[in-house]
Amino acid sequence: MSHDTGRIESIAGPVVRCAGLPSVRMYEVVRVGEQQLIGEVIEVGEGTCTVQVYEETSGVAPGEPVEATGDALSVELGPGLLGAIYDGIQRPLPELREMSGDFISRGLTVEGIDKEKKWEFKPLVKVGDQVEPGDVIGEVPETQIITSKILIPLRVKGEVVEIVSPGEYSVVETICKVKDSYGDVHDVVMLQRTPVRIGRPFKDRVPMDTPLVTGQRVIDTFMPQAKGGTGAIPGGFGTGKTVTLHQFAKWADAQVVVYVGCGERGNEMTEALEEWPHLKDPKSGRPLMERTVLIANTSNMPVAAREASIYVAVTLAEYFRDQGYDVALMADSTSRWAEALREISGRLGQLPSEEGYPAYLGSRLAQFYERGGRVKTLGADDRLGSITICGAVSPPGGDFSEPVTQATLRIVKVFWALDKDLAARRFFPAINSLTSYSLYHNTLEEWHKENLGADWPELVTEAMALLQKDQELREIVQLVGPDALPESERATLEAARMIKEDFLTQSALHEIDTYCPPGKTYRMLRAIINFTRKMAEAVGVGVQVRRILEFSVLDNIARMKISPWDTYDSTLDAIEKKMEREFQSLYQEMSDSGMMLSEITE
């Protein structure tokens, strides 16, 4: 292991040029200056190297020592991750605060996982068993929601010659010994160290045919995400990116959530850090933090650590994926991460590309998003695990043609476009259904048919057609006014209004409407489409739209979004029966009058 010592030649913000480290390698971690600041080698020259420092460099002077460690930037993996709050390089923020108060001192070294804490370990193998990388040798009930599986590390394969009995052990105590084919015995502990810039290996990718249910109707209906899929939420300031990602993290049916606040405003990250420990997991009733890892690198923290934070986050996600869990990774926001790339690139003197971003922006984004996916993990038991990556993008002025948004759209399969006009009208979530899209519709169609209803694709297609027709009619209405429209087109406008106001709008702050189960989403959409079909039939035989708008069932349809999760079926049954009665009553009333419908409307 290299422990060369060099010296600082020059400093430009987080970028430090060093000399006297002849054997240093790319992406090696070094200690910079008298305060031993943490840095990473990002450029190697003849006799010199360039380091990006993950801490504030003010006060550091040329001539101070630089020490090579021989290690790549790595994270510690094992029991103790869930519920933790880290900075951008996996230093626990509560421990940093204890050591230095509210303002974090420089040069602090804190281990990512507590080495003293004892965990209840239950072995699942016995002496004589053959094991290979990725095999589960035991379990630790890390929280009441998630049981951590202890895996055989890479490059260890052979026969179990010793396994501890059930009991309490720290993450650094030997729990298993494996003898390989050469006769060497390897000690296995619960702790693993993994470099963050290289993805953890797996056997194979598998089709993404199961949706990641988010409980947000506009997303689950029109632009669904698949487990293992990639998605982006671009939007201007105030359109609701952070709230939407928070809703994902709280309600998506992933077992583990990794949330990285990458260059986010401090007040928003503070709100998340204060709110989440008190949130209840909807499935278990336990605190949500018991299945969450938070990484906080706010906009006032060192910019280089922002560049590292999403690699740290995705490596933590891969660790849980390898245990067979479905993981949701929320990155807020990748634009701030790209700005960190731009700043460091500029200080390195690299030739800028569009809007000053480095030429490798697109490839770096692709490397990050490609680490998502649904995979068959290492190990003999063929576990399936997934990482679903959802990244917020913050285009300046809401301009989706800027480089980060465009580079992201070339990579991701789901695009939720936040609309400033919708947000200004207090229409939330402010996702524009007509400009957003999902490329997973076809692969998820069978799941929707089996689990919701055979008519689900038909309902979605019909609803989308109504919204598209509504947009066309809106332009005509602005020119000639609504009175110039025929009754059939007025019915279309009313149908689209019901879809937008009674179905697509959803309050993140309402205790019931904040989450909508898939079954309820299906029943709500079916009720509205049934009503619009009946309305079109009635208008077709001469009924005026204003007569249908007097139906009392419209009030029930408007309130169905707040029907409780456990009773929505009976509520929707009653609405559909009432709808049928009111239309029948209308036809009966006209039949009893003894006049043709066309005469009544005249």
Could you read off the pLDDT of 395-450 as tens digits, one per residue? 988 889 999 999 999 999 999 999 999 999 989 999 999 999 999 999 999 999 99
CATH number of the 119-190 domain? 2.40.50.100
Q: How far apart are the first and last CA of the chain?
A: 93
Could you read off the pLDDT of 184-226 as tens digits, one per residue? 999 999 999 999 999 999 999 999 999 999 999 999 999 999 9
DSSP secondary structure string, 97-117?
A: HHHHTTSPPTT----SS-SS-
Closest CA to 5 of 39, 38, 40, 30: 30
Hey, what CATH class is 204-435 in? alpha beta
Q: Which helix (H) or strand (E) is 294 found in, with range?
A: strand 292-297
**Region 292-319 average pLDDT:** 91
Q: What is the dihedral of CA 416, 420, 422, 423, to 10 degrees?
A: 100
Could you read off the pLDDT of 457-473 as tens digits, one per residue? 999 999 999 999 999 99
Q: If DSSP codes are grouped into helix, strand and coil, which group holds residue 162?
A: strand
Residue 78 per-residue DSSP state: S
- Residue 594: pLDDT band (50, 70, 90) is low
The answer to whether 80 touches 142, Cβ cutoff 8 Å, is yes
The backbone torsions φ and ψ at residue 369, rounded to the nearest 5 degrees and listed phi first, read -65, -30
Residue 24 per-residue DSSP state: -
- Residue 108: pLDDT band (50, 70, 90) is confident
Q: Please tell me the predicted confidence (pLDDT) of residue 187.
A: 96
For residue 336, with 0-12 CB atoms within 10 Å meaning exposed, 13-18 middle and 19 or more buried, which class applies?
buried
Residue 345 has which token pair?
């690139």
Share of the chain above pLDDT 70, in %: 98
Could you read off the pLDDT of 493-544 as tens digits, one per residue? 999 999 999 999 999 989 999 999 999 999 999 999 999 999 999 999 889 9
Residue 362 has which token pair?
């697109």
Could you read off the pLDDT of 537-588 as tens digits, one per residue? 999 988 999 999 999 999 999 999 999 999 999 999 999 999 999 999 998 8
**Region 40-58 average pLDDT:** 93
Instruction: Enumerate the domain spans of the chain.
Output: 1-72, 119-190, 204-435, 456-601
On the question of pLDDT at 596 being above 70, the answer is: no
The answer to whether 355 touches 403, Cβ cutoff 8 Å, is yes
User: Chain-wide mean pLDDT for the chain?
Assistant: 92
Alpha-carbon distance of 52 to 309, in angstroms, equals 13
Alpha-carbon distance of 51 to 48, in angstroms, equals 10
Query: How far, in Å, are 288, 334, 396 from residue 390 at the CA level?
Result: 19, 10, 19
Share of the chain above pLDDT 90, in %: 76
- Residue 22: pLDDT band (50, 70, 90) is confident
DSSP secondary structure string, 308-354?
A: HHHHHHHHHHHHHHHTT-EEEEEEETHHHHHHHHHHHHHHHTPPB-G
Hey, what CATH class is 456-601 in? mainly alpha
Alpha-carbon distance of 54 to 89, in angstroms, equals 8
On the question of pLDDT at 282 being above 80, the answer is: no
Q: Within 10 A of 462 (CB to CB), how many other CB atoms are there?
A: 17
**Fold of domain 1-72:** Elongation Factor Tu (Ef-tu); domain 3 (2.40.30)
Q: Within 10 A of 555 (CB to CB), how many other CB atoms are there?
A: 9
Alpha-carbon distance of 11 to 365, in angstroms, equals 27
